[in-house]
Chain A
Amino acid sequence: MLFSCKIGAQAGAGVMVTGRMMAKCFTRGGYNVVAYPEYPSLVRGGHNVVEVLASNEDIHSPTQKCDLVIALNRDAVFYHKDFVNKGGVILYDEELDISAFKLPSGIKAVPVPLMKLINQSGGIAKMKNTVALACAFALIDYPFEIFASVIEDEFRRKGDDIVKKNVEAAKAGYEHVKQNNGNFQHKLKAISNKRKMLISGNEAVALGAVAGGMKFYSAYPMTPASSILHYLFANERKFNIVVKQTEDEIAAMNYATGASFAGARSMTGTSGGGFALMVEALGMAALAEAPIVAALVQRVGPSTGMPTWTEQADLKFALNASQGEFLRVVIAPGDMEECFYQSAEAFNLAEKYQLPVIIISDKFLAETFFSCERFDEKKVKIDRGKIIEDLPILEPNTRYKRYALSKDGVSPRVFPGTPNGMHVGTSYTHDETGFSTESFIMRTKQVDKRASKIKGLLKDLPAPKLYGPKKADVTLICWGSHKLPALDSLKLLEDAGVKANVLHFSFLFPLNKEKVAKALSGSGKTVMLENNSTGQFAGVLKEYCDFEPDFLLLKYDGRQFFAEQIAEEVSKLSAKKFKGDKEIRISEKEDLEYYNPQRHGL
């Protein structure tokens, strides 16, 4: 059973909170839940929507179509009416005149008198979203107590009176629909009262970082990375960490490097434009061998691009950012558990190998909420690598060999405050003590020292992971967030008679050719899906693993792939016996732009 509801309203009307409340209600009722927001880069005006999906089976990604639309403005009816499953309902505020819109057949429009219900219960206009949600819950027969408990948690900090008034207004809405609109095909009962979390990708990365011992986070606000900053700030005293909003991203990366040099596990986070500003300091961190972790939450580029939409087009940027040659690790978590555990692991890798680690995610993964079991921070084993605290007395006027040549490329760190450990961290090519040098021989030795860390890394970094049957006719290859729709497409493909599995890469760089070859050995026809226009990871696989997929499926319109789209394209390939163009480009068919409702005559 899968139930999907879209809640739509004008930007600024609080629909993000409303969507999360509905998602929390389903999570508390024992369902697997996804809450996926779409919104334009505007504070007021434009159209906002959250799609909330609840299922008693596994669910990983949003769907194109839904069963219920909660329309808090006319635009919501216009935007979503053509994406409602047969038998579905559009629940709308009766004050809205929607007569201009022609609803597809098999869809019912149900008006509800939101303002009247609010007035009857003694509430205020602000409670419209609450009442509308209550109407929706009544329509699907979902227990009111669960909603009341979520209202209580959501509004508690605003005081008992606000909680009480919201619950009363909700009750009025719930009873109104119970009495007047009984007949809807979807009925949802609570299936379990076991508590689960509702968490977004950014929050899971933030929590994972804290579990991994992060003590310092510096960043400049940038969509869609900002919620990492918000979450960490809200909890900095609880977590005993210092969070710093800096004057720009240049400062953010330099702060992270400084904190790392002083001995704190440190991190920064941004999106592509901000990362562009961090690039020079990224190279400095690498040369000074100051371990740092950077979250690069991708959005549509180049330049300002489409700030609130998603893409996977910064991979090659992350791999090549900054002048010169240096080793870095790039990790792309694909779900909430991976966001948590891989972010924690990023700090171990950064410190063990004394290099930058980039966690690359995207708007889709970062801002979508998922129901999820609690993580276990005790499973995170903190490994700080080589750190020395007791040092022999130095000869007068000499310094510690912080960059001592070593076989595995890793020289023991000391932190300021440690006696006899004085040295200079520097952005210049340096000798073993950190002193600037232009010696050809030392230069070559230091480059080789840093590069030799790759041997240990290649052993440590895990292989790509296979999901679904071991043997299949089609293997979908993907990275990062696209595990989610790929997994959901497996069932659709099975229904269409195509046996498929998914090979997902989280550890994108460096790549262990043998591990990758082994993971690919059982593949069927390979279809690589990437949310960009050039197949960036396909290029990386070709360069480092000499592998080329049979087909490359690309989408770069600002939305991630939907499972339906993957299934459709792969089914078509199967029907054509896998003949035809190697490169397949798709985009959304309907061009409903949220930024400018006026363009649609709204």
Chain B
Amino acid sequence: MTVTINDFNVKEKMQWCPGCGNFGLIASLKGAMADLGLKQHETVVVSGIGCSSKLPHYVNTYGFESIHGRGLPVASAIKLANTDLNVVAVGGDGDGYGIGVQHFIHIMRRNYDLTYIVHNNQIYGLTTGQASPTSQLGMKTKTTPWGVVEEPFRPLTVAINGGATFVARGFVGDPGHLKELMKTAIAHKGFSFIDVFQPCVTFNKLNTYPWFQERVYKLEDSGHDSTSKSAALSKAMEGEKTDYKKVPIGVFYKTDKPTYESTLPQIKDTPLAKQKLEIDLSKAYEEME
């Protein structure tokens, strides 16, 4: 039986602000899952805490909504425990680049076969409008009444340098493009990362839909070589370098490396969660004698 996008819907109402970028993101995600033919019961969507982290509740797959910043370690272990599962982690910029940034840095070194999608709205939404690690310099928020003075966190350069094997950026204002990015990311063997521009219509009055629409362009239209790390790094900084006149979206960098799971002979034939639990320990005893 083929899966349709409707299979991924749930009856419950999505509780986001009208016009929130999360609606576009979740539609692209469900579309990507349906297009790829992922089975609902073989897919787990994991999140941290925040507006965007409510997403697992609204996708009819298995889901786990963890605590603030901790979606990645939970997702990592779900994959390690059952490599047959498709694992997608989602979260916001505060969740992934602020409180949980250590997990982001370390998951890239490991190259688990899972996908991480960050709803990057450059503001804290659920806690009602504080500066986030990606808030633009000078932006006024509740916690930066005189403007942001900290350099913004650069998720793409961090990911390209940090060892991620698939690094992309999308924009919810172009859901078709975003869906294709997600499909490529989920199909990628290894750790795939998509930073998604997702305007917060309630608290971010600077980085709005029109703001992005005027600035974003597609890398695939510009002849970008996604196998080149240096080209990828240069494109990742283009927004800041051009004072946000030109902001690229698309696949920045892609490479192939063995996944972490593939280095573990003990789960080569059978996923951990399906192995028998009884064990003969006589060799272990003998070694202690």
Q: Do the two chains bind?
A: yes
Chain A residues in contact with chain B, CB under 8 A?
A: 27-28, 195-199, 203, 207, 210-213, 215-216, 218, 235-242, 244, 246-248, 250-252, 254-266, 280-281, 284, 288, 374-375, 377, 382, 396-399, 415-428, 434-436
Chain B residues in contact with chain A, CB under 8 A?
A: 6-7, 9-12, 40-44, 46, 49, 54, 56-57, 60-67, 70, 73-78, 80-82, 84-85, 102-103, 105-106, 264-267, 272-275, 277-285, 288-289
> CB < 8 Å: which of B10, B12, B66, B284 contacts A235?
B284
Give Cα distance in the complex from A250 to B99, angstroms. Answer: 11
Do A416 and B82 have beta carbons less than 8 Å apart?
Answer: yes
Give Cα distance in the complex from A296 to B67, angstroms. Answer: 22
Report the minimum CB–CB distance from B64 to chain A (whole Å). Answer: 4
Residues of B within 8 A of A258 (CB): 46, 64, 66, 73-78, 81
Do A264 and B272 have beta carbons less than 8 Å apart?
Answer: yes
Give Cα distance in the complex from A424 to B102, angstroms. Answer: 25
CB nearest to B288 among chain A residues: A197
Give Cα distance in the complex from A382 to B288, angstroms. Answer: 25
Residues of B within 8 A of A28 (CB): 289
Do A435 and B57 have beta carbons less than 8 Å apart?
Answer: yes
Do B73 and A216 have beta carbons less than 8 Å apart?
Answer: no
Give Cα distance in the complex from A455 to B184, angstroms. Answer: 51
Do B81 and A399 have beta carbons less than 8 Å apart?
Answer: no
Report the minimum CB–CB distance from A431 to chain B (whole Å). Answer: 10
Write 21 A-B pairs (CB below 8 A) sorted by A numbering.
A195-B289, A197-B285, A238-B284, A241-B266, A242-B80, A244-B77, A251-B73, A255-B76, A259-B77, A259-B273, A262-B44, A377-B280, A399-B10, A416-B62, A416-B78, A419-B41, A420-B41, A422-B41, A422-B61, A423-B63, A427-B67
Residues of A within 8 A of B74 (CB): 254-255, 257-258, 261
Do B80 and A397 have beta carbons less than 8 Å apart?
Answer: no
Q: A242-B266, A258-B73, A262-B44 are in contact. List 16 more A-B contacts (CB 8 A).
A: A28-B289, A215-B275, A235-B284, A237-B266, A242-B80, A254-B70, A258-B77, A261-B64, A262-B81, A262-B273, A375-B285, A396-B7, A416-B85, A417-B85, A420-B41, A427-B49
Report the minimum CB–CB distance from A104 to chain B (whole Å). Answer: 37
Do B67 and A284 have beta carbons less than 8 Å apart?
Answer: yes
Give Cα distance in the complex from A240 to B267, angstroms. Answer: 8
Do A216 and B289 have beta carbons less than 8 Å apart?
Answer: no
Residues of A within 8 A of B43 (CB): 416
> CB < 8 Å: which of A197, A262, A377, A424 contacts B78?
A262
Interface centre among B42, B46, B63, B265 (most CB of A within 10 A): B63
Do B81 and A264 have beta carbons less than 8 Å apart?
Answer: yes
Residues of A within 8 A of B66 (CB): 254, 257-258, 281, 284, 427
Do B285 and A242 have beta carbons less than 8 Å apart?
Answer: no
Give Cα distance in the complex from A237 to B269, angstroms. Answer: 13
Report the minimum CB–CB distance from A77 to chain B (whole Å). Answer: 32
Do B77 and A207 have beta carbons less than 8 Å apart?
Answer: no
Given contacts A242-B266, A262-B81, A428-B65, A251 and B272 within 8 Å (CB-CB) = no
Given contacts A211-B279, A258-B73, A424-B63, A216 and B80 within 8 Å (CB-CB) = yes
Do B63 and A425 have beta carbons less than 8 Å apart?
Answer: yes
> CB < 8 Å: which of A27, A244, A399 contacts B60?
A399
CB nearest to A384 among chain B residues: B277
CB nearest to A252 among chain B residues: B73
CB nearest to A251 among chain B residues: B73
> CB < 8 Å: which of B46, B64, B75, B272 contacts A242?
B272
Give Cα distance in the complex from A68 to B106, angstroms. Answer: 50
CB nearest to B102 among chain A residues: A247
Give Cα distance in the complex from A238 to B64, angstroms. Answer: 31
Do A263 and B273 have beta carbons less than 8 Å apart?
Answer: yes
Do B285 and A210 have beta carbons less than 8 Å apart?
Answer: no
Report the minimum CB–CB distance from A440 to chain B (whole Å). Answer: 18
Given contacts A254-B74, A262-B82, A425-B64, A215 and B54 within 8 Å (CB-CB) = no
